[in-house]
Chains A and B, each alone.
Chain A
């Protein structure tokens, strides 16, 4: 069942915030992956400061949402896991930015 429409139309942008991206760790991961072509697990871990387990679970959420994809390749017979933002992920991040800007512009103070 879809969530009810907010009665106050000013709150509409708030309801459109993508909760998958809104989580700070996932926002950092997606933001990083959008700014590079692709990166391996260790690079993303170093840049975001997340632990391996944390990064793994957030990656699973982002992958399930179709925002990132994981590919494996072998370099000199050593496996390398490459993470990359998908077209859908980039579009979602753009939309998230627009929605957040709307929300923040509407805040008092």
Chain B
């Protein structure tokens, strides 16, 4: 990729604050998020976390050695779908530098993923993490997901992101009311996870119907 003096990041703040510029930006972000893959990815992440609780804590199947692969799988599936189905249909755009809130969320998510990977490495050497650590990691993970979705809702103007964030928060509150921590966590992660997964898939299929495969793509594939 060529590096150029395009003036990246030097857009005057006044321009970003003007309603017209903000509207154009929101439209672009919205177009990039109509595919439902953000919902799908967060839903998949939460479902994997619920699966972890269900198998490791409730069914007694040792999953610690596999947990680090879940986020990697989520990222790979999401990126693969985007490359294969989204970019050939609506094109590709790189969004402007993220807001401090989104950068903070990204850092937090990366730390959580790193924590899971470290846990996986140690579990493969026969060392299990402290039992009390997992529920807290998962709670932070779910709340980070809710916050990210709320920020996405604000950035894109898509209401469904705010609804998802609310569902995660409600599930977290409901889980606190359950006395058994493991069942509480299963509820907190599984309920919004499935909701997001289904919504993401529905949005994705609607997106595919709205944006049929361009002819040039078929030509390109055969060439």
Residues of A at the B interface (CB closer than 8 Å) are 31-32, 34-47, 69, 71-73, 75-76, 78, 80, 82, 84-88, 90, 93-94, 97
Contact = CB atoms under 8 A, between A and B. Distances in A.
Contact of B10 (A42, A44, A87, A93): A87
A84 B4 contact: yes
A76 B12 CA distance: 34
B114 to A, nearest CB: 27
Nearest to B95: A36
24 contacts: A31-B21, A34-B15, A35-B24, A35-B28, A36-B25, A36-B28, A36-B95, A37-B8, A39-B93, A39-B94, A42-B91, A43-B31, A44-B91, A46-B90, A47-B31, A69-B6, A84-B6, A85-B7, A87-B6, A90-B10, A90-B11, A94-B15, A97-B15, A97-B18
Contacts of B1: 71, 73
Given A42-B90, A84-B6, A87-B5, 16 more contacts: A34-B24, A36-B93, A37-B8, A39-B28, A39-B91, A39-B93, A41-B91, A42-B214, A43-B91, A75-B83, A76-B83, A78-B220, A86-B6, A86-B7, A93-B15, A94-B12
Contact of B93 (A43, A76, A78): A43
B179 interface: no
B152 to A, nearest CB: 16
Interface in B18-74: 18, 20-21, 24-25, 27-28, 31
Contact of B92 (A35, A80, A84): A80
Contacts of B6: 38, 69, 84-87
Nearest to B7: A87
A36 B10 CA distance: 12
Contacts of A36: 25, 28, 93-96
Contacts of B97: 37
